[in-house]
């Protein structure tokens, strides 16, 4: 019931999610301005794929336990690993469809925002103007809202299905 292959998917998903943090730290001091949109794209793809692999594997494993313990006839319900991989694959396919649509319809570009100028700490005649650079697209709010709604709905379904944890009231250990 442990499903080591799904555990490996969880690990790979977590590794991808952690790897996306590295891309969040890249800016034009470490890469070129021309490469920045590609870094933005890599951030989004890697983070979404990592979340879908990690959460999708946990979601499908929980679904299997839920379906086994809520079987009122106490039949031996067998849900194979390939069925759980299909659930993860469907979640990943939805992510790919969303982010591909986003990248084709509204690709990322580099945007900057200048912050309040301040004097240098050791040199009074030098004025430092900090600048933040970030990924932007024209309809970013729409696509991010779609992603949040989809991922949030998955989290709510999981929470709604089993808010207290799996407890089988028919079989109690004494």
In tens, the pLDDT along 72-103 reads 676 676 788 888 999 999 999 999 999 999 99
Q: What is the dihedral of CA 26, 27, 31, 35, to 10 degrees?
A: 100
Q: Which residue has the higher pLDDT, 2 or 155?
A: 155
Query: So what's the pLDDT on residue 1?
Result: 59
- What mean pLDDT, rounded, does the chain reach? 85
Which range has the worst mean pLDDT, 57-71, 96-110, 136-150, 160-174? 160-174
Reported pTM: 0.78
Helix (H, G, I), strand (E, B) or coil at 111: strand
Q: For residues 50 and 19, is the Cβ–Cβ distance under 8 A?
A: yes
Tens digit of each residue's pLDDT (9 = 90 or more) over 107-151:
998 888 888 888 888 887 788 888 888 889 999 999 999 999 999
């Amino acid at each position: 019931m442990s499903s080591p292959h799904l555990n490996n998917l969880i690990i790979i998903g977590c590794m991808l999610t952690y790897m996306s943090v590295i891309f969040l730290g890249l800016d034009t001091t470490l890469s070129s301005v021309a490469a920045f949109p590609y870094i933005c794209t890599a951030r989004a793809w890697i983070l979404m794929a990592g979340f879908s692999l990690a959460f999708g594997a946990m979601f499908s494993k929980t679904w299997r336990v839920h379906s086994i313990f809520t079987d009122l006839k106490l039949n031996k319900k067998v849900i194979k690993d390939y069925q759980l991989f299909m659930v993860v694959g469907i979640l990943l396919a939805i992510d790919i469809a969303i982010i591909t649509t986003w990248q084709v319809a509204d690709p990322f570009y580099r945007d900057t925002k200048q912050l309040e100028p301040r004097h240098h700490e050791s040199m009074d005649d030098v004025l430092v103007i900090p600048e933040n650079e970030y990924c932007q697209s024209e309809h970013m709010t729409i696509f991010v809202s779609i992603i949040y709604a989809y991922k949030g709905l998955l989290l709510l379904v999981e929470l709604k299905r089993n808010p207290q944890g799996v407890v089988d009231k028919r079989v109690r250990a004494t």
